[in-house]
Amino acid sequence: MSKLTAFIKRHPALLVGARFAYRWLQPLYRQPVTGWAGYARLFSDWRRYLAAGGKARLADFYPRLEDSTRETPFDPQYFYQAVWAFSKIHQAAPAIHVDVGSDVKFVGMLSAVTMVEFVDIRPLPAQLENLQCRAGSLLSLPYETGSVHSLSSMHVLEHVGLGRYGDPIDPGGMKKACAELQRVLAPGGQIYVSVPVGRPRVQFNAHRVLALAEVIGFFNGLTLVETAFVDNHGRYHPSIRPEEMCFDERGGSDYALGCFHFVK
């Protein structure tokens, strides 16, 4: 047990106080300007709640000031890529599907319809009947050559080699990761990937943005079956020819998202 943990156990009031302060200050961290107006609304709502007969102590408050929106907020790229990949994998009905590093909500839902092996450099401590989690790197996957028949890695490849997730710095990381995915893919195997597309660049240390030709070139040992596209206005194009993918840099978004289905 660390000295800090031992100290907190001896002084539990400090933990309660820290949690209270965090709850109150977190909205200002997320919305440093508009957050103050949210507090005014919060106390106005509280007074009306008490006047209506409700009971809520100030000490138990948990301010959530950013959720009063006209529309349900969502990330179009992650939402639509999950719909696209899930539907294609579900239709293919593999006995086992391997995913490398994708959004864990997508992985969890996918495990409801097929057996999923999830690989990440940061092991996922989740337990589901049809989900097996294992540690592994996109640069050295824990599979024999040509052994994986169904494979995905969504919104992941663009990060490899930039150090964001604790991976080693490597300017050629993405190219090596694409080669490693192809190595483990079985003949006739299906792979689903998505990456940012737009003006080619490295936005260190977040991600890379790639030209369409770069993406296809990284997988030149495979046959492109189908593409989908989430443009930089957040619109979803579930089936689109690669040459129709276009990025409007004046549209106010850094990049669009290309989804690619390849077969070996």
pLDDT given for residue 34 in this prediction: 74
pLDDT averaged over 10-residue windows placed end to end, the chain, 264 residues: 64 71 76 80 92 91 84 95 98 98 98 98 94 96 98 98 94 98 98 95 95 95 97 93 82 84 98
Cis peptide leading into 205, omega within 30 of 0?
Answer: yes
Q: Which fold has domain 76-263?
A: Rossmann fold (3.40.50)
pLDDT given for residue 3 in this prediction: 67
Domain boundaries, the chain: 3-60, 76-263
Compute the CA torsion angle 198, 199, 202, 207 (nearest 10 deg).
Answer: -10
pLDDT given for residue 203 in this prediction: 95
Q: Are 136 and 142 in contact (CB under 8 A)?
A: yes
